[in-house]
């Protein structure tokens, strides 16, 4: 829905209101650097043209009412408060509650304002394009207006991105900070390499003539609903790996060494080289698989404590947890992101594509976040002439990204349609593929 129509509709949905303001927040695709952000390791995404659009109007009484042009999402209202009770897992209003509570906690506004909000979207949901974070960012931007905070003046975009990365944990998904950072800071025409703790961004355009083909596998994954546990397995095993590495450092140095996440190995007081970090990690996690009993023995605590602190209710595979492979993905993916940034700066499409291919293999075999559909779709994209192709986002379903020459799109789309959608999925109709160029970040709309 265009903004003019959205403004009109707002006045029907909220009768008696004055003309609303509007804002927009785009989705994103990650080009390389998967499941690295929550470890404090870099990523390289770009914003896309599809977006969440909001019309909104502040209120004085602290009441927040959310309405949606999509009838699948019922209108909900709740009272603003320092601690807002969450709705059932998977409920759409939780993304707005996350934003409001996060802004409250970080900025402590003098008055907990309310707002009427009408949501519209051109961004497919649960397709790995980060509709969740786009919704969180858009709601936060609306709420900032309600509490009189000017984005870019009173609060930087980087600071808002950082606080919203924490805030989105409210919905139960333990994501890192990539999505909010790129959604808020993307610059049209550029992909961006993002580093964390502290958040830093560097822009780089795609190689000349190139575009990103985004293909939806059509397998939906709701990361705060039924797929929550599969998604959170990555962060949990990485946090456990961090504890094992910390233990190793303790043994090496005979004293406690601060290590909040794997990425801290390269930064901060340790400042290891890649080779040193790899050597240390492979000593800390020296077996392909570790049972709960072996992990507990290594950490010197009871198995129940390992569950409470790190693993939660993650089921134990018969031959133990594959922690070493998870760590290997982090180590190799970090290197690939650095090389991918260099390839972009050099305009080297072939190298960038080869790194995307290698990233997919690592995601599939070492991090185990692929699926038969994603593997088949990536293969179809490569067969159709992509310079590189990989899953993007959380994995298990959602979309793939392929680097192509834009002039080849006319041949790429029918070839992938035939091999994946027709033959593999036995599906007819318009294929869910779009060709993307890096778009601009979120903004208010005059």
Residues numbered 368 to 427 that lie near ligand ADP (CB under 6 A) are: 393, 398
Applying CB under 6 A, among 29, 112, 117, 129 the residue interacting with ligand ADP is: 129
252 an active-site residue? Answer: no
Catalytic residue among 37, 116, 179, 408: 179
The 3-state DSSP class for residue 357 equals: helix
Pick the stretch among 131-139, 210-218, 292-300, 400-408 that binds ligand ADP (CB under 6 A): 131-139
Applying CB under 5 A, among 132, 190, 351, 417 the residue interacting with Mg ion is: 132
The 3-state DSSP class for residue 370 equals: coil
Applying CB under 6 A, among 8, 218, 222, 332 the residue interacting with ligand ADP is: 222
**Residue 411 tokens, joined:** 């041949």
Q: Provide, rounded to whole angstroms, the least separation between the CB of residue 180 and Mg ion.
A: 10
Spatial distance between the Cα atoms of 238 and 231, rounded to a whole number of angstroms: 12
Q: Provide, rounded to whole angstroms, the least separation between the CB of residue 249 and ligand ADP.
A: 34
Applying CB under 6 A, among 157, 223, 236, 246 the residue interacting with ligand ADP is: 223
- At 227, give phi and psi (nearest 5°): -95, 5
Residue 67 contacts which entry, Mg ion, ligand ADP, none (Cβ below 5-8 A, type-dependent): none
Q: Which is nearer to ligand ADP, 130 or 185 (CB)?
A: 130
Q: Find out whether 287 and 324 touch, Cβ atoms under 8 Å.
A: yes
**Residue 215 tokens, joined:** 């293909």
Spatial distance between the Cα atoms of 126 and 122, rounded to a whole number of angstroms: 13
Question: How many angstroms separate the Cα of 382 from the Cα of each of 245, 387, 408, 420?
Answer: 37, 7, 13, 12
What is the chain's Cα-based Rg? 22
Q: Provide, rounded to whole angstroms, the least separation between the CB of residue 48 and ligand ADP.
A: 12
Residues numbered 33 to 62 that lie near ligand ADP (CB under 6 A) are: 52
**Displacement of CA 392 from its chain's centroid (Å):** 9
Q: Which is nearer to ligand ADP, 121 or 400 (CB)?
A: 121
CB neighbour burial string for 138-168, b if at least 16 within 10 angstroms, e if fewer: bbbbbbbbbbebebeeebebbebbbbbbebb
Spatial distance between the Cα atoms of 20 and 14, rounded to a whole number of angstroms: 10
Pick the stretch among 59-67, 82-90, 126-134, 405-413 that binds Mg ion (CB under 5 A): 126-134
Q: Find out whether 330 and 41 touch, Cβ atoms under 8 Å.
A: yes
What x/- string results for residues 134 through 173 when contact with ligand ADP is judged by CB under 6 A?
A: -x--------------------------------------
Residue 121 contacts which entry, Mg ion, ligand ADP, none (Cβ below 5-8 A, type-dependent): ligand ADP
Spatial distance between the Cα atoms of 340 and 335, rounded to a whole number of angstroms: 9
Q: Provide, rounded to whole angstroms, the least separation between the CB of residue 393 and ligand ADP.
A: 6
Q: Find out whether 142 and 95 touch, Cβ atoms under 8 Å.
A: no
* Short-list 54, 65, 196, CA closest to 136: 54
Residue 311 contacts which entry, ligand ADP, Mg ion, none (Cβ below 5-8 A, type-dependent): none
Q: Provide, rounded to whole angstroms, the least separation between the CB of residue 74 and ligand ADP.
A: 10
Q: Which is nearer to ligand ADP, 119 or 327 (CB)?
A: 119
**Displacement of CA 317 from its chain's centroid (Å):** 27
Residue 242 contacts which entry, ligand ADP, Mg ion, none (Cβ below 5-8 A, type-dependent): none
Q: Find out whether 102 and 140 touch, Cβ atoms under 8 Å.
A: yes
Pick the stretch among 77-85, 100-108, 117-125, 295-303 that binds ligand ADP (CB under 6 A): 117-125
Q: Provide, rounded to whole angstroms, the least separation between the CB of residue 117 and ligand ADP.
A: 11
Q: Which is nearer to ligand ADP, 51 or 408 (CB)?
A: 51
Spatial distance between the Cα atoms of 165 and 130, rounded to a whole number of angstroms: 12
Applying CB under 6 A, among 30, 57, 68, 101 the residue interacting with ligand ADP is: 68
Applying CB under 6 A, among 38, 78, 95, 352 the residue interacting with ligand ADP is: 95
Query: How big is the CA angle at 145 (ends 151 and 444), to the nearest 5 degrees?
Result: 60
Applying CB under 6 A, among 65, 101, 131, 392 the residue interacting with ligand ADP is: 131
Spatial distance between the Cα atoms of 134 and 73, rounded to a whole number of angstroms: 16
Positions that interact with Mg ion (CB under 5 A): 132
Instruction: Show which residues are catalytic.
Output: 179
Positions that interact with ligand ADP (CB under 6 A): 52, 68, 70, 73, 92, 95, 119, 121, 125-132, 135, 222-224, 393, 398
């Amino acid at each position: 829905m265009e903004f003019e129509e959205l403004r009109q509709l707002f006045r029907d949905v909220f009768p008696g209101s004055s003309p609303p303001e509007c804002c927009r927040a785009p989705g994103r695709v990650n080009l390389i650097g998967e499941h690295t952000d929550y470890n404090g390791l870099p990523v390289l995404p770009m914003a896309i043209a599809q977006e969440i659009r909001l019309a909104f109007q502040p209120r004085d009484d602290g009441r927040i009412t959310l309405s949606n042009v999509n009838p699948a999402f019922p209108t909900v209202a709740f009272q603003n408060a320092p601690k807002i009770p969450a709705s059932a897992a998977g409920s759409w209003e939780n993304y707005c509650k996350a934003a409001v509570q996060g802004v409250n906690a970080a900025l402590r506004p003098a008055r907990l304002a309310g707002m009427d909000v009408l949501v519209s979207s051109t961004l497919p949901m649960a397709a790995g394009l980060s509709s969740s974070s786009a919704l969180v960012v858009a709601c936060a931007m609306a709420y900032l207006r309600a509490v009189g905070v000017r984005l870019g003046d009173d609060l930087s975009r980087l600071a808002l991105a950082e606080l919203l990365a924490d805030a989105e944990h409210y919905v139960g998904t333990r994501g890192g900070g990539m999505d909010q950072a790129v959604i808020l800071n993307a610059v049209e025409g550029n992909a961006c390499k993002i580093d964390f703790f502290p958040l830093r961004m560097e822009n780089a355009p795609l190689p000349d003539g190139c575009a990103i083909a985004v293909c939806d596998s059509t397998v939906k994954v709701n990361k705060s609903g039924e797929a929550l546990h599969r998604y959170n397995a990555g962060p949990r095993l990485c946090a456990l790996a961090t504890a094992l590495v910390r233990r190793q450092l303790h043994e090496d140095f005979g004293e406690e060494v601060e290590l909040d996440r794997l990425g801290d190995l390269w930064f901060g007081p340790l400042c290891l080289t890649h080779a040193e970090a790899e050597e240390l990690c492979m000593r800390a996690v020296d077996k392909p698989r570790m049972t709960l009993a072996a992990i507990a023995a290594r950490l010197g605590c009871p198995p129940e404590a390992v569950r409470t602190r790190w693993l939660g209710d993650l089921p134990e595979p018969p031959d133990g947890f594959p922690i070493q492979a998870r760590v290997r993905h982090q180590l190799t993916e970090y290197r690939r992101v650095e090389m991918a940034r260099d390839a972009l700066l050099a305009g080297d499409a072939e190298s960038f594509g080869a790194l995307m291919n290698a990233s997919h293999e690592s995601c599939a075999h070492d991090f185990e976040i692929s699926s038969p559909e994603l593997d088949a779709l990536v293969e179809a994209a490569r067969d159709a002439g992509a310079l590189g192709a990989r899953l993007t986002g959380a994995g298990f379903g959602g979309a793939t990204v392929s680097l192509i020459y834009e002039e080849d799109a006319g041949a790429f789309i029918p070839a992938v349609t035939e091999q994946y959608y027709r033959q593999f999925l036995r599906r007819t109709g318009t294929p869910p593929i779009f060709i993307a160029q890096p778009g601009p970040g979120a903004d208010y709309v005059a």
